[in-house]
Amino acid sequence: MSEDADALDENLCVGSCERCPALVDSRSQIVEGVGPVDADLVVVGEGPGANEDEAGEPFVGRSGDVLDEAFRDAGLARADVRITNCVRCRPPDNRDPRTDELANCRGYLEAEIARLDPDLIVTLGKVPSEHLLGRSVGITAESGDVVDARLGKASRRVLLSVHPAATLYDRSQRDGFFETIARAADLIGASEGSSGQSRLGEF
């Protein structure tokens, strides 16, 4: 087991970390992943914003409201989904996490996902999509695609999505985002009227 896997507690939390000096300065707390440790579905965002930094929970601001609405529409309960981020500390001035910061936090994310062993990961936006896939992603064009990504020792199914915030500044992204989350529910067999069987094998 990696050092980062050992660092996670039974709730898959890091607890303390000082690897990224700029983030240690800008955060008020570490924002850990939330949700069941046996969730079938994991959504991965970029990193906490101001609201999340204050609340200590991912996706609680306006983006979180959109995400919750899309979950409800898809027949998913937020409480059943593991919600986490590529970096667990708020970058200053809401800038994107830097490559070194993403790398510093990657072991925690890989360890979290290894322990969860989910049916499906949804990447919310360009940053987590590129981080998990290790290539550049045209997120608007690729949103809704299911691809395989190597995470730690395992290959994982990843459904690419635009970030929920994109729907706030570009209304035309909303239907596509909701359809992608509905697709996630379908893929894990959680959508209404589903037989309960995962259809991942079809993709």
Smallest gap from Cβ 49 to ligand URA, in A, equals 5
181 close to 162: Cβ distance less than 8 angstroms:
no
Contacts of 202 (CB under 8 A, 6+ apart): none
Residues in 89-118 that interact with ligand URA by CB under 6 A = none
Distance CA 194, CA 176 (A): 21
Is 173 a binding residue for ligand URA by CB under 6 A? The answer is: no
* CB nearer ligand URA, residue 48 or residue 118: 48
Q: Of residues 22-61, which lie at the interface with ligand URA (CB under 6 A)?
A: 45-49, 52, 58-59
Amino acid at the residue 12 = L
In contact, 89 and 30? CB cutoff 8 Å: yes
Nearest to 192 by CA among 81, 36, 72, 38: 72
| Residue 85 within binding range of ligand URA, rule CB under 6 A | yes
Between 99 and 197, name the residue whose CB sits nearer to ligand URA.
99
> What six digits make up the tokens of 6?
């050992």
| Binding pattern for the stretch 59-78 against ligand URA, x by CB under 6 A and - elsewhere | x---x---------------
- At closest approach, how far in Å is the CB of 96 from ligand URA? 10
Dihedrals phi, psi of 187, to nearest 5 degrees = -65, -30
- Using CB under 6 A as the criterion, which residues of the chain lie in contact with ligand URA when the complex forms? 45-49, 52, 58-59, 63, 85
